[in-house]
Structure 1
Amino acid sequence: MAQTSIESEVARFNEGFEAQIGPDLAGTFAQEQADLRSVGTPSGVVRAGDALPDAALLTARGDAVRLSTVLGGGPAVLVFYRGAWCPYCNITLRTYQRELLPPLAGQGVALVAVSPQHPERSGATAEGAELGFDVLSDPSNTLAGALGIVTEPSTEARRAHTQLGFEVSDSNADGTAAIPFPTVLVVDAGGTVRFVDVQTDYTRRTEVTAILAAVAHL
């Protein structure tokens, strides 16, 4: 079966979403995305060749676990996403489940998703999308902060979120609105980051083909 690009799925979603929320809210989000693209990737983000920092995370059951324990000394793909409230994250995680997980599993490469949301929300994410890989919580964005990929929605976007009936800080384990830029890391068995893709515009995500190409070079 041919792969479906995340970009094409996002385009289809946006058509219906923008019609549903109306031009004012759609314009708010479009402006936020344009501003994010304009600013670009911040300085200090993780780079290929850096050592992956260890961190204390939480499983979907709320159990404490070290990232190093989850990875078990093997190669891995780490996916940082904003939360279950983000439709672009859900599109991405479902695509990775369907098209990325099988080839990674065949090569002995772990797939792990990380967000700052409450563990129970991580569990809901995994259950709702029927994910077959670890979905972990990074309270207070400790790991994301060490990687230099923390941001938060604009004030205008948060007002738009409120009009749509949710608040990012309610989803996060630390009660703040801090979230990671959507980011994919490919890490080798020695714990060295070999591939980094940070998407400042949250509607854009790392395609499966790019990740598999990076894994092929491990």
Structure 2
Amino acid sequence: MLILQDQLDQITTNTRELVQPERLETSDRAIAELFATGIEDQILPVGAKAPEFSLPDISGRLVRSSDLLSLGPLIVNFFRGRWCAYCITELEAWREMYATVRERSALVIGVAPQLVRQNDFTAGQHSLPFPLLSDKGCSVAEQFGLVYTVPEYYRQYMRSVLVNVPFVNGDESWRLPLPATYLIAQDSTVLFAEAHADFRVRPEPGEVLAALPR
């Protein structure tokens, strides 16, 4: 089985070979500053009750967390957008684990601030078998304690590498979620919660599944 973090580390290695050091320093600075805010310590923790939410899927149909939880435990993967290679690699890892997730009577969804049509592109391009929901303005991610605003200097960097967050998200807020994975029990109790200020680090799907009730 491929280790997700190994794949992510390879993206980082490739990036460091291709990108100028001063550009890398900009990205490293943004990660360090976000980590220093203590945001990782403020996320909705294990043992808390997850908020109910209702978000549109790629067809525009509203999907309610309560309806999903009536079917089984729910894995929620908050991701930044289709422009993030790390996020796509993580979503593809969940695609490969999807049969195992269903065998365990659980469900998985992806949640991002990007527009419905961007989620549609993402699902189609990467053959994702699970719902992608559009969290415009990061309203649900905020309830999980995951939201931050991209600083101006990093906005300039992102534009320079052709990442147009306002276009993808349909607003000018530059609000993004920390990449995060939650496992929510059917009674809405959080069984697993992990989020990182360093977008290059993600939990292994196997770790999440290990927290499912037997």
Q: For the Cα contact (< 8 Å) 2:40–2:196, is it kept in 1?
A: no
Count of residue correspondences: 214
| Counterpart position of 1:126 | 123
| Counterpart position of 1:38 | 36
Q: For the Cα contact (< 8 Å) 1:184–1:198, is it kept in 2?
A: yes
Partner AA of 2:206 in structure 1: T
| Counterpart position of 1:57 | 55
Scaled by the length of structure 2, the TM-score of the pair is: 0.92
| Counterpart position of 2:183 | 186
| Counterpart position of 1:162 | 159
1:44 CA displacement: 4.0
Q: In angstroms, what is the RMSD of aligned CA positions?
A: 1.8
1:150 CA displacement: 0.7
Partner Cα separation in structure 1 for residue 139 and residue 53 of structure 2: 7
Q: SS of 1:36's equivalent? A: helix
Q: SS of 1:176's equivalent? A: coil
| Counterpart position of 2:203 | 206
Residue 110 of structure 1 is aligned with which of 79, 89, 107?
107
Q: For the Cα contact (< 8 Å) 2:82–2:88, is it kept in 1?
A: yes
1:175 CA displacement: 3.7
Q: For the Cα contact (< 8 Å) 1:62–1:120, is it kept in 2?
A: no
Q: How does 1:76-115 map to 2 (within 5 A)?
A: 76-98=74-96, 100-115=97-112
Partner AA of 1:176 in structure 2: S
Partner Cα separation in structure 1 for residue 53 and residue 186 of structure 2: 17
Partner AA of 1:13 in structure 2: I
Partner AA of 1:111 in structure 2: V
| Counterpart position of 1:27 | 25
Distance 1:201 1:117, change over 3 A: same
| Counterpart position of 2:16 | 18
Partner Cα separation in structure 2 for residue 52 and residue 206 of structure 1: 19
Partner Cα separation in structure 1 for residue 17 and residue 134 of structure 2: 33
Give ranges in structure 2 of 5+ residues lacking alignment. none
% identity of equivalent residues: 24
Partner AA of 2:65 in structure 1: L
Scaled by the length of structure 1, the TM-score of the pair is: 0.90
Partner AA of 1:54 in structure 2: E
| Counterpart position of 2:45 | 47
